[in-house]
Structure 1
Amino acid sequence: MHAVRRWWHDTAGGLPATFWYLWVGLLINRAGAFAMLFLSLYLTDVREASVGLAGTVVGLYGAGGAAGVLLGGVLADRWGRRATLLAAHLTTAALMVALAFSQSLLLIAVLAALVGVVHSMPSPAFVAAIVDVVPAERRSRAFNLQFWAFNLGMAVASLLAGVLAEASFTALFLVDAAATLTAAVVIGWKVPETLRLATSPADQAPAAGPAPRSLRTRRPGLHTALTDRTFLVFVGLTFVLAVLTMQTSTIMPLAMRADGLGPSAYGLVVALGGALIVIGQLFVPRLIDRHRKDVVLATSTALLALGFGVLAVADELAVYLGAAVVWTVGSMIAAPPNAQINADLAPPQLRARYQSVFYLTFPAAAFVAPTLGGVSLQHLGDRHWLIVGGLGLLAALGHLLAGPPRERHVTALQKAAEPLTPADRISAS
């Protein structure tokens, strides 16, 4: 029993109540966000759209998502985290109801693009709010639980979507709207505004050290994140990790089909990864907390590289399942340090903007992975996986090289954010 209590404390202990309400809101948000998973089937089966038109509409949803990430980051830093979350959730619920009863393909396309925008807006606001309320020493476990909730919610969403789509696509959209509205109620009822405005004397006091070059601008904004070289190196490495991860949903199904393995085999590989995350993610903090974040990220990227590289010789389901275990473990241990480094690099007044730039890596990877990966698999065959593995190993090396200067940059940021003590002011004058 003592061991169980110790594990629970290491995994979820010491986190404030506001975090848990955010966590519940995120879980409901993900578990209920299932209608768009079946958008292409809805368009072809119910609205009799062509496959090409259905693909275009789904692409508009993805394009809206890229815009929504940036918009959500800017609004969360200007309006506040709570206001942005409420606006996004309430608008999403209204758009889902509209989609449920829309018949015009043009109107559905417009609504899909708008849903893409508001679906992506909460991501930077959720993470920025977590950083606002969780002390730095506990953020790793908070981000680990956030990743767990996201994947648990997606697993629930996939199951619910299949059942509802069999019954009624209208019900699919309406239940999605109801779940989104429920998440909005939880946030509106229990989550206060977490954005710290610079109104207290401590916030207005002079800093203890010079600000890093990335913050020496007259009006810090989104451009600050886009010109922060240390941050952009980290974003670039995360983009490589995202491209590797996207192989499972874009290129791997094609490779399995070429090996004579059908959709049920692919579903089993994906289900194994999801089950590992739901069961094992809660044990990750104790595994990684004693190690440097750059070493953890290098290890995780190397595991992804190994897992996908093995597919160069895979021709049986057992090999795919074994490889899935390897790359899933890599994804699991990458999630907490990735989010924590992103939080450390972001100045408090630009926290959500930095999150929005970071989150752009995922829609970008969702475009690059299938576009280049399909050509690579077609012309190179199984050698495609050797290229993927080599890219992952280069990124692992990049994490080891970028880690020490990044930590020095974080230390400078933290020092610049500390107010001068009275003794410091006297010595400086």
Structure 2
Amino acid sequence: MSSGDVTFRNFLAALPTPGRWLLATTAFQVLGRGLTLPFTIIYLHEVRHLSLDVAGAMMALIGAVALVFTPLAGTLTDRWGARAMVIIGSSAQVIGVGLLAFAETVPEVTVAMFFIGICNAGGWSAFNVLIASIVDGPLRQQYFGINFALINLGIGVGGVIGGVFVDVDRPETFTTIFLIDAVCMLIPIALMLGPLRAVHGRSEVPPEEADGPKVTYLSLLRRPGVANLVLIGLVFAFVGYGQMEGGFPAFARGVSEVSTRVIGWAFALNTLVIVLFQFAVLRRMTGHRRTRVMMVMAAIWAASWLILGSTGLFSGTAAAATMVLVYHALFACGETLLQPTLPAITNDLAPAHLRGRYNALGAAAFQLGAVVAPLSAGFLLRHDLSVAFIAILVAGCALLALFALRLEHQISPAVNGVPDPAPEPAR
């Protein structure tokens, strides 16, 4: 498809049948995630009465567990296939959110977060490998972007439902949304065991490399561009989704002083922006350097965090609530730029038989950022350091742009989303 042909109908027509089933998997599983994502730290702090520091630590535990197990998950993805790892990760998520629905003590929450961390270790990166094994070329970048829009559609719809339904004075409402999340995660398991059972997502090692030196994660980090990809993933998680899950809800409740309903609507607005603009962004970015797109995204995110920080001047007012919504809308604009680029670069750069480990490196960096983000947010916000919190995130956005610029000089134009320049004619 050319850049002008990026529509959902044309995209579906170009997809092989397994790709369509995979999209259905995304749509189902994230609906339950949307119910719980904006409210987990609120649930731990205001319903289960854990201190903000402890609640932040519990959120960080998910990333810590994933960080420990992600290298193993990446290796197993290359050996067993991505489909098997998606099944394992989804099963762990079912157990984790099912336990969290009834957890009342720190040890019980810890066990629940351990299983959710197992899912994060293998499930999401393996899902990217499945995508890369089904589609290639420009269609791959489009798939990552559209898949992201569907993820946000499910999260947004779930966020709206959750924001209206949950009540901190009725703990059973939180139990209900976590159980629904568990049920939703059973659907991708069923699809992997049914229509997608023939898609294993595994590539054989080329004969010329079979007897070569053993591939280690350290040797991968020495390959051109890989280390910068890892740094981008780390900072991206810290200033992005790590803070969206932990820092933003805590800031919005404690500093902006808005209601859980406003937080739910903010996530919904985030989704609406992504769903409405993702196709337009895909059309505009086709043929442009993916690293330059990342730099634009970093500037947009910096502006969004500054807007959120300004809500502290109007705490508890309609102005603060409005600015929280504006923050999420602007943040979403940046998301539409990043999600089609980073996974596409990773999977275009990786040899087919090493995609599991390349994606695992990216996932490990993401998990490390997800560990540090809620811990730092919990500490800074509990000690009334909201200005420092925002300043650190803006500085992180500047680092993100710098790493993207460095990456541009280490990867080929094709991996960066533009055609290789034609050679000059001989004179």
TM-score (norm 1): 0.76
CA contact (8 A) 1:230 1:409 kept: no
Residue of structure 1 aligned with 2:232, choices 237, 241, 247: 237
Give the match for residue 262 of structure 1.
258
Larger Rg: 1
Deviations for 1:23-79, whole angstroms, at most 9, x for unmatched residues?
211222222346865666767888x67547666555444433333433432221111
Mark the CA change 1:393 to 1:76 in structure 2 (over 3 Å): closer, same or farther: same
Match of 1:109 in 2: 110
- CA separation in 2, counterparts of 1:258 and 1:168? 22
Equivalent residue number for residue 201 of structure 2 = 195
Distance 1:234 1:5 in 2: 29
Moved more, 248-257 or 182-191: 248-257
2:423 alignment counterpart: none
Q: CA deviation at 1:345?
A: 2.0
Deviations 1:213-234 (A, max 9, x none): xx99611143433444521112
Whole-angstrom CA distance in 1 between matches of 2:297 and 2:34: 29
Distance 1:396 1:171, change over 3 A: closer
Shift of 1:125: 1.0
Q: Whole-Å Cα distance in 2 between the matches of residues 406 and 6 of structure 1?
A: 26
Letter in 2 for 1:195: G
Q: Confirm or deny: 8 A CA contact 1:82 1:187 kept in the other structure.
A: yes
1:164-243 superposed matches below 5 A? 171-191=176-196, 192-198=198-204, 203-204=206-207, 218-228=213-223, 230-243=225-238
Say which SS state the counterpart of residue 194 (structure 2) adopts.
helix
Q: CA deviation at 1:99?
A: 6.2
Aligned match of 2:138: 137
Shift of 1:352: 1.2
Distance 2:252 2:44 in 1: 27
Aligned to 2:302: 305
Q: CA deviation at 1:292?
A: 1.3
Matched, 1:294 2:299: no
Q: 1:102 to 1:19 in 2, by over 3 A?
A: same
Task: Give the partner amino acid of 1:338.
Answer: L
- The Cα of 1:21 is off from its aligned counterpart by 1.2
Equivalents in 2 of 1:266, 1:18: separation in Å?
36
8 Å contact kept, 1:66–1:117: no
Deviations 1:96-145 (A, max 9, x none): 55666788864553343123213542111110011011022211101011
2-side partners of 1:91 and 1:307: how far apart?
34
1:8 Cα deviation after fit:
3.5
Partner of 1:20: 20
Q: How does 1:87-126 map to 2 (within 5 A)?
A: 87-93=88-94, 106=107, 109-126=110-127
- Distance change >3 Å, CA 299–CA 107, structure 1 → 2: closer
Give the unaligned 5+ runs of structure 2: 314-318, 417-427
Q: Does 1:399 align with 2:366?
A: no
- Mapping for residues 312-391 of structure 1, pairs under 5 Å: 315=313, 316-317=319-320, 318-372=322-376, 382=387, 385-386=390-391, 388-391=393-396
Native 8 Å contact 2:299 2:398 kept in 1: yes
C-alpha distance in structure 2 between counterparts of 1:99 and 1:379, whole Å: 29
Equivalent position SS for 2:7: helix
**How many residues end up aligned between the 2 structures?**
398
Please state how far the C-alpha of 1:235 moved relative to its aligned partner. 1.9
Q: Could you tell me which amino acid in structure 2 is paired with residue 404 of structure 1?
A: H
Residue deviations 1:381-413 (CA, integer Å, cap 9, x gap):
6465455434423432442343032227959xx
In structure 1, the residue corresponding to 2:110 is in which secondary structure?
helix
- % identical aligned pairs: 24
Q: Distance in 2 between matches of 1:311 and 1:55?
A: 19
Provide the residue aligned with 2:275 in structure 1.
278
- How many Å separate the matches in 1 of 2:99 and 2:42? 18
C-alpha separation in 1, matches of 2:135 and 2:375: 39
With CA pairs under 8 Å and 6+ residues apart, which has the higher RCO, 1 or 2?
Answer: 2
Distance change (3 Å), C-alpha of 1:366 and 1:276: same
**DSSP 3-state at the match of 1:405:** coil
Q: Could you tell me how far apart the structure 2 residues matched to 1:88 and 1:96 are?
A: 12
**Equivalent residues of 1:85, 1:122 under 8 A apart:** yes
Separation in structure 2 between the aligned mates of residue 250 and residue 54 of structure 1, nearest angstrom = 9
| Unmatched tracts of structure 1, length 5 or more | 208-214, 412-429
Q: Secondary structure at the match of 2:143?
A: helix
- Answer yes or no: is the 8 Å Cα contact 2:77–2:202 preserved in 1: no
Corresponding residue SS for 1:406: coil
Match of 2:80 in 1: 79
Distance across 2 between alignment mates of 1:117 and 1:229: 29
Change (3 A) 1:65 1:30: farther
- CA 54–224 in structure 1, closer or farther in 2 if over 3 Å, else same: same
Q: Residues 152, 219 of structure 1: CA spacing in aligned structure 2 closer, same or farther, 3 A cutoff? A: same
Tell me the residue number matched to 1:7: 7
Task: Work out the CA distance in 1 between the residues paired with 2:158 and 2:250.
Answer: 24
1:151 aligns with 2:152: yes
Most deviating of 97-106 and 233-242 = 97-106
| TM-score (normalizing by structure 2) | 0.77
- Root mean square deviation, CA, Å: 4.0
Question: CA shift at 1:324, angstroms?
Answer: 3.9
Q: Would the aligned equivalents of 1:297 and 1:396 in 2 still touch at CA under 8 Å?
A: yes
- Secondary structure at the aligned position of 1:262 is classed as coil
